[in-house]
Structure 1
Amino acid sequence: MDRYKLFNSLTGWFVFTVAAVLYLTTMEPTTSFWDCGEFIGAAYKLQVGHPPGAPFFLLLGRLFSLFAGDPSRVAMMINALSALASALTILFLFWTITHLMKKILLTNTRITTGRMIAVLGSGLIGSLAYSFSDTFWFSAVEGEVYALSSLFTAVVFWAILKWEERADEPSSSRWLLLIAYLIGLSVGVHLLNLLAIPAIAMVYYFRKYKPSRNGIVIALLVSMIILGFMIYFLIPGFVKVASWFELLFVNGLSLPYHSGVIFYLILVIFLIAAGLYYTHIKGKVTANTVLLAFTVVLIGYSSYAMIIIRSSANPPMDQNNPQNVFSLLKYLNREQYQASPLLKGPYYNAPVIDVKEGKPTYVQEDGRYVIAARDPEYVYDPRFVTIFPRMWSRNEDQHIQDYKDWGKVKGERITVQGYSEGNDVLVKPTFGENLRFFFRYQLGHMYFRYFMWNFSGRQNDIQGHGNVLDGNWISGIPFVDNPRLGPQEDLPETYRNNPARNRYYMLPLLLGILGMVFLYRKNVKDFWVIMLLFLMTGVAIVIYLNQWPHQPRERDYAYAGSFYAFSVWIGMSAGYLYM
């Protein structure tokens, strides 16, 4: 086993070196499109970018920029941060795959050279497949947050597997505390990392308890509660409670600005310290560990203090000016963007029947906080409100037309009171058409298409909106491609020689399916853990984002975690072939 550990470490660092050389030699020399220029500029001078911010990424970017030598190389150094973070992601993917395969092929009674090669080979196949995948490679070479976010996902998932190995040791809880701290830090990069929590929880459950149907359901519910607590309560809620104290101290007690926040922070520190002391002297190990985990999450989350500090300095880029707790709360909640409904909401043509006053906007004036405005809250005709609303955006005519096209909307005619005299007749989509849009556009076009880019092939890098010429997935197999996209043999040279045109002949897809079947047969617990990670970073994101049609750019980067999980199955295919 010692020989295996040596080779596992050496091969992992070899994979890291391959990935690092690949990404460093192909990274952007300056800046690329969309948010990269903003992130690079914000990191270089520690400025305030668009909500909800990425303070920990900016701090690391600032650190890397110090090695630039001159300003002309700052962008390249921040791009190098993404390249190295991506290479480390590949390293931890390799170790994740070998850990899972080792439990199947290597035991103390069956350590053979052939089996050891199969384990290391599985790690090589899966990690290198992900290294060269379309989506991950693209994110790895530019100064964006998604490479660093992928690293956090990879590390926390690897860490729970290390805990699984050492769960019976007295000090094993340190791995859980490391995971909690990394999750707190990752909030300062991107919230995508939080989606690994359910898979982490299931590893914990399978290791500590004898699995049962009820137990699995309870474990899943607890993991979802933790995830919801992080997204909806801890991240905005910690600041929201601070705003209550600030309002009380400044408006109620006539104390200076920020006095309420300072008192609140001191109170939180005191309560945490008292709780840790009490649980320690009383020997309440579980309660102490949970409280420690909560504490280190807050320590990681504290990177957001940079946002207020730098906004108070009024840098050139100071989006939303979040220099007090009220503006920071709006910044964290992304209130400048239109919120998409999740469980219940209106269709795109729902008539507005009332407007109510919503959340207040506080500004500083004469030593107090005064309400400058209130957000409007629209009340819609209940006949046009549905559960699981997918066709909701009314901002652009293009959105509405695309809803009708993708959903094949015929609808039902409903008479409503007109804006002038008389009545109007509106066509409300049916719930079936709502689901058709969900499956055809949100799942099919905005997820499955990206999935197939990485594991089957990509037509070109021209953004597609459903036409047969641009941005589709291909396989290189005529009977698969031609019925969907037409004959591919006589394409114009512009399309045939597009640099982004890839044909994998579905080989990575088939390997992943083989690995999936192999893992299910050999270790059903690990299969469901990887499946949960795959679904939470894929389909769950599709449901949560609830994207409108005709997006301004391709969104495959949001699903990199799902492709990461599938690459684990690609690696497991080596075990299938070996067995």
Structure 2
Amino acid sequence: MQYFKKLNNLLGWIIFLIATSVYLLTLEPTASFWDCGEFIACSAKLQVPHPPGTPFFLLVNRMFAMLALEPTQIAFMVNVSSALCSGFTILFLFWSISLLAIKFFNQGKADFEPTKPQTHSIMLASSVGALAYTFSDSFWFSAVEAEVYAMSSFLTGFIFWAMLKWDTLQDTQSEYRWLLLIAYLIGLSIGVHPLNLLTIPALAMIYYFKKWQKISLKGSVYAILIGSGILLFLIWLIPGLPTFAKNIEVTFVNVLNLPFNSGIIFLIIAIVAGLTWGIFYSIRKQKPLLNTILLGVSLVLVGYASYGIILIRSAYNPPIDENNPEDLVSLISYLNREQYGSRPLLFGPIYTEKPEDYINTTPIYTKDKEKGKYVIYRYNREPKYGDDARMMFFPRLYSSDPYHVSLYERYLGLEKGEQPSFFDNFRFFFTYQLGHMYWRYFGWNFIGRESDIKDAGVLFLSNDKDAPNYIKNNKARNRFFAIPFILGMLGLAFNIIRNKQTAGMLGLLFFLTGIALIIYLNSPPVEPRERDYIYVGSFYVFAIWIAFGVLAIIELLETRLSKGTQITYRNSLSWGVATFAGLLCVALMAWQGWDDHNRSNRYYSVDSARNLLSSCEPNAILFTGGDNDTFPLWYVQEVEGFRTDVRVCNTSLLGTDWYISQMKQAAYDSDPLPISLKEEHYRMGINDVVFITKHPFMPEKEAKQLFEQGVELQQYMNLVVQNNKYTQIPTSEEDVENFLPSQKLILDISNDIDYIKSAGFLPKGADTLLKYGMYWQLPKNRVDKDEFVILNIIANNHWRRPIYFAPKLSDEDYVGLKDYMQIEGLAYRLLPVPVGLLAPKKEIFVNADLSYELIMKEKKHSFKGKEIVRKMYWRGLDNPRVYHNEDYFGFISQAREHIYEVAKTLIEEGKKEKAKELMLFSLKQIPIESIPYDVYVAQLVPLLYEVGETNTADKLYKQIMEEAKSIIEYSNEHYSLRNDFKMRQQIFIFYQYAKDLQKIKPDEAVKCKNLYEKYVRQISNELE
């Protein structure tokens, strides 16, 4: 075994260096979109991220962040952590494959020593399997960004390899030590991601196969059940232990009249004392198994104790403190991910059923320091359905969200309001949840991928001859010709034939980390992003089967060749074919995947955040929406210290009491937000929805008049804060909630006119409109809590702080005030006058000169003794080799939209030279060769003609026309590939050109009109 071990170790580390080098070369230099900005910010300062928290992940990455020489390098260093974790995952995969592969030759002999040809075959197979996983789509994606999945994969690989290593040991004491290491790793993994726990049933099978001489199906089932029991216990332990501790604490304080934290201290002492006594007892009585179990439980708890960092850091109230889990009560909610709701698993209602009522379940306590007791301040609630409500086993069609319902009906071909059948339920499970949300991702990794466009399918063989550029040149259009898949299936068959125990164990691990996850997660009919990264554990297993496929080729050729053939020739031929197949598989995956996984020189996730903040005046309030709107902003403020004077306020979180309380606190250079509401007005369960209704306590005539004329917002908010009964409706014997007596709102600004004029932000000619105040209508007949708080901020701000809204917000988030906003740079600024009166023919008013200056130059201010530089960044957008996907296109399209609006306004104001400079700057910084054109680039063509840039306009027009026709024709021929939004964009471009080019290029205008009418007819015919 000495030769095998040396070669195994040497090649393992070589593969590690190859994988790590690949990931470092393709590493994102800054914070990616989605959760990465949040995780980097929380790692750098040990803050509290979204539930259920990742404390061990944060602690490790805090160390990497400390290695950065300057703040702008922190993101890169945290990303390096993911690259290293992923490299070690590949190392452990290599060693795991070699340990599993040797079982095909040892015939159950513990002291087996493989021959040199066998060793070389195993090393070749291990290298191919490890490198195939190195270049697999989903794993590579997570390896180059600061997400938990790289570290989670590392711990999964480490735990799995450690158990296989344990399987080779003959010394009982060494076996126990390795089991304790595994227990500790499992405990640590809880602080990264619970996905790691899914390995436990497979580990139980490995234990059973080694410790029982007689292997049977019944015994295997028992092993799986015991492993599953341990898994379920650990899943319960994560929220269950704090819940038990909370119950002990409440009993000690409320019943035994002891001080706060006495119950927690007692429980900690009891657990430590109990485990300590048990460990010493097992030593005295010489019970090694009991000793190992107790030490294992202790080490799991030590690893799990990393969650203490969440409680400690939350108690310091850092700027990012999601859910504020600073005590046991809030920690339980945090660990249970209560803010995300729950999904039925085995039994539940279908989407057509509505709950009759909501009933109180478990009480939620809070500290009453004056009484020295825990008091109930609310209850968890769950829906109650009527006796005739239709419930279904294994419910997959459960979401009653209107958009989800429309998608269910579309997928299943149901009429509006039609109840789905049990068959429909399973059809959705197999076609969408399994097919679209798992096997499609599996195909991406081992068969081929159409593109990075959302919902893109699997690519096997395809002719790109007539494909439009946005498909043909899509960097994520990866062809593997199913070679990795074929090799993996060959390896699976070989595994089943040669070693059924290993095949069963790997099959179980594949199922648990893939299909079982699909069943458990119970995906709705649409997700905000692709979720392939969740299922990398099953792809890890398939990479092992790819390795076995190499062994299968070697053995198949050696056994099939004529017995008279020389052994050397047989070995050389079989080895040569297997090497060629393995290298072809790996080379294809590396070559095809490199350009869409190479994130080097990509910065716009962070630059978009900088540009949005640079659009804001000093001391501004900026309302944003989803993750990609907010997390990059958190990153640049928290890590790079950029524009910390601007207070970022996420409307998605503003409906929670803890976040509102945080907004009432100062953060860095930002003062608290002007929120007059007290906690009693916004705590959970209070004013979640403020309904709009005629005043129930006024005479009918006066109530109607108030409803029609509107409510003065400042006066109304003052009454709310004063708990005036005329703004309240009782909801129970103890609780009241507010209502709004009109959908129309008035904001009197007469006392603020002098300040507004002196602030100098009004458009020209707006001064005369100030005397009328603000008058607008809310977009719906209720006000959600986040909108209620926004209105409270506007009412109490008195224009002392500039208020901005991000351009990607929903209409509801603008609380009906879109007519009072103007474009400044890449943001919308709230004005005290309606822009419709300033520019009657325009949908939105543009501060063109300021926006031009912000985009093209820089603007300096002084605030609180610091210099603020407002400047925009466009790094990497002009380089066609830099990879940008749809996450980036949306933000780039917003920038292009604002540039178009600014250029158009400059032309209308007679400033054509400025408009020309701006448009040429835009086309240079964001060329369509690098970032595909959109509607706003297309709309620049008439403007370019108008400012005299005929050559540029001609070239751009020709490129867009050719591509637009290609997109529509290709989509018509490949209906399954049709992107309705993309098609409608092209048709809209023809419509715009037909209208806008009439005077400039009349012949082209006629051509565009004919194309527009032609394609509209085609779509109409298809719909019929």
Give the structure-2-normalised TM-score: 0.53
Q: Aligned to 1:427, what secondary structure does the other structure show?
A: coil
Deviations along 1:299-348, one digit per CA (max 9) or x if unpaired, are: 11000000000001111111111111111111111111110111111111
Tell me if structure 1 keeps the 8 A contact 2:249–2:261.
yes
Which residue in the other structure is 1:467 paired with?
none
Give structure 1 stretches of 5+ with no counterpart.
Answer: 412-425, 465-470, 479-486
Matched, 1:212 2:216: yes
Q: Which residue of 2 aligns with 1:284?
A: 287
Of 180-189 and 382-391, the range deviating more from structure 2: 382-391
Q: Find the counterpart in structure 1 of residue 467 from structure 2.
A: 491
State the shift of 1:174 in Å: 1.2
Aligned with 1:191 (options 189, 194, 212) = 194
What code does the residue aligned with 2:445 have? N
Letter in 2 for 1:380: Y
Higher relative contact order (CA 8 A, sep 6+): 1
Partner of 2:440: 449
> Are 1:25 and 2:25 an aligned pair?
yes
Say whether 1:574 aligns with 2:559.
no
Match of 1:270 in 2: 273
After superposition, where does 1:498-577 map in structure 2 within 5 Å? 498-577=474-553
Structure 1 residue matching 2:339: 3-state secondary structure: coil
Q: Does residue 462 in structure 1 map to residue 438 in structure 2?
A: no
Structure 2 gaps of 5+ residues are: 556-1024
Instruction: Please give the alpha-carbon distance, in whole angstroms, between the structure 1 residues aligned to 2:127 and 2:308.
Output: 40
- Counterpart of 1:32, as a letter, is S
Q: What letter matches 1:90 in structure 2?
A: I
User: In the alignment, does 2:408 pair up with 1:427?
Assistant: no
Contact kept in structure 2, 1:408 and 1:433, CA below 8 Å: no
Once the two structures are superposed, the pairs formed by residues 187-266 of structure 1 within 5 Å of their partners are 187-209=190-212, 210-232=214-236, 234-266=237-269
Amino acid at match of 2:345: L
Query: Is the CA contact (8 Å cut-off) linking 1:320 and 1:327 kept in structure 2?
Result: yes
Residue 177 of structure 1, aligned match among 172, 176, 180: 180
- 1:387 to 2:393 alignment: yes
Amino acid at match of 1:206: F
Shift of 1:264: 0.9
Matched, 1:144 2:144: no
Q: What amino acid maps onto 2:459 in structure 1?
A: I
1:127-148 deviation line (CA, Å, top 9, x unaligned): 0000001100000000000000
Within a 5 Å distance, the mapping from 1:296-335 to structure 2 comes to 296-335=299-338
Corresponding position of 1:415? none
Classify the secondary structure of the residue corresponding to 1:362: strand
How far did 1:409 drift?
Answer: 3.7
Which deviates more from structure 2 when the two are superposed, residues 168-177 or residues 510-519? 168-177
What is the CA deviation profile of residues 226-259 of structure 1, one whole-angstrom value per residue up to 9, with x for unaligned ones? 1111112x11111111101211222233333322
Between the aligned partners of 1:222 and 1:408, the Cα distance in structure 2 is 43
Moved more, 360-369 or 127-136: 360-369
Shift of 1:394: 1.5
Corresponding residue SS for 1:445: helix
- Is the CA contact (8 Å cut-off) linking 1:406 and 1:440 kept in structure 2? no
CA–CA distance in structure 2, aligned partners of residues 462 and 109 of structure 1: 51
2:589: which partner in 1? none
The SS at the match of 2:378 is: strand
Distance in 2 between residues matched to 1:410 and 1:175, nearest whole Å: 59
Indicate the SS of the match to 1:359: strand
Which residue, out of 431, 444, 466, partners 1:440?
431
> Is structure 2 residue 457 aligned with structure 1 residue 472?
yes
Q: CA deviation at 1:221?
A: 1.3
Greater CA deviation, 282-291 or 152-161?
Answer: 282-291
Letter aligned with residue 224 of structure 1: S
Are 2:380 and 1:375 aligned?
A: yes
User: Matched residue of 2:86: which SS?
Assistant: helix
Q: What amino acid is the match of 2:457?
A: N
Shift of 1:410: 6.1
Q: Which residues in structure 2 correspond to 1:401-412 (within 5 Å)?
A: 401-409=406-414
Q: 1:103 deviation in Å?
A: 2.0
> Secondary structure of 2:452's match?
coil
Q: Secondary structure at the match of 1:336?
A: helix
Aligned with 2:358: secondary structure? Answer: strand
Q: 2: distance between equivalents of 1:405 and 1:167?
A: 59
- Asked whether the 8 Å contact 2:459–2:479 carries over to 1, the reply is yes
SS in 1 for 2:207: helix
SS at match of 2:49: coil
The AA in structure 2 aligned to 1:53 is G
Map Cα deviations across residues 372-422 of structure 1 (whole Å, 9 max, x no partner): 211221112353211111111123x221111122234469xxxxxxxxxxx
Distance in 1, matches of 2:431 and 2:415, equals 16
Aligned-residue offset at 1:519? 1.2
Give 1:488 shift: 4.9
Aligned to 2:366: 363
Report Cα offsets for 1:525-555 as digits up to 9, x if no partner.
0111111111100000000000101100000
**What secondary structure does 2:102 align onto?**
helix
8 Å Cα contact 1:406/1:436 also seen in 2: no
What aligned pairs does 1:66-85 form with structure 2 within 5 A after superposition? 66-85=66-85
TM-score between both structures, scaled by the size of structure 1 = 0.92
Q: Residue 161 and residue 109 in structure 1: after superposition, are their counterparts in 2 closer, same or farther (change >3 A)?
A: closer
Map 1:123-142 → 2, pairs under 5 A = 123-142=126-145
Q: How far apart are the structure 1 equivalents of 2:56 and 2:273?
A: 26
Between the aligned partners of 1:111 and 1:428, the Cα distance in structure 2 is 62
Shift in Å, 1:39:
0.5
Query: In the superposition, relative to structure 1, how do residues 501 and 247 fare at CA in structure 2: closer, same or farther (>3 Å)?
Result: same
The amino acid of 2:447's aligned partner reads S
> In the alignment, which residue of structure 2 is the partner of 1:114?
117
C-alpha separation between the residues in 2 aligned to 1:298 and 1:361?
A: 26
Tell me which amino acid in the other structure corresponds to 1:440: T
Deviation at 1:109, TM superposition (A): 6.8
2: CA distance between counterparts of 1:167 and 1:552? 50
| Total equivalences in the alignment | 548
2:1017 aligned partner: none
Equivalent residue number for residue 398 of structure 1: 403
Further displaced range: 6-15 or 276-285: 276-285
Q: Output the CA distance in 2 between the equivalents of 1:148 and 1:109.
A: 34
CA distance in 1 between counterparts of 2:272 and 2:382 reads 37
Distance 2:130 2:469 in 1: 34
Task: Check the 8 A contact 2:205/2:505 in 1, yes or no.
Answer: yes
CA distance in 2, matches of 1:286, 1:241: 27
The one-letter code matched in structure 1 to 2:486 is: L
Q: Deviations 1:174-194 (Å, cap 9, x if unpaired)?
A: 111111110110000000000
Q: Secondary structure at the match of 1:172?
A: helix
Q: CA deviation at 1:283?
A: 1.9
Instruction: Find the aligned partners of 2:465 and 2:441 in 1 and give their Cα distance.
Output: 23
Which stretch of the first structure deviates more once superposed, 128-137 or 207-216? 207-216
Bigger drift between 188-197 and 349-358 goes to 349-358
1:414 aligned residue: none
SS in 1 for 2:338: coil
C-alpha separation in 2, matches of 1:548 and 1:324: 33
Percent identity between matched residues is 48
Q: Residue 102 of structure 2 contacts residue 114 of structure 2 at CA under 8 Å; is this kept in 1?
A: no
RMSD: 1.5
Deviation for aligned residue 1:104: 1.7
Q: Distance in 2 between matches of 1:280 and 1:306?
A: 33
Rg larger in structure: 2
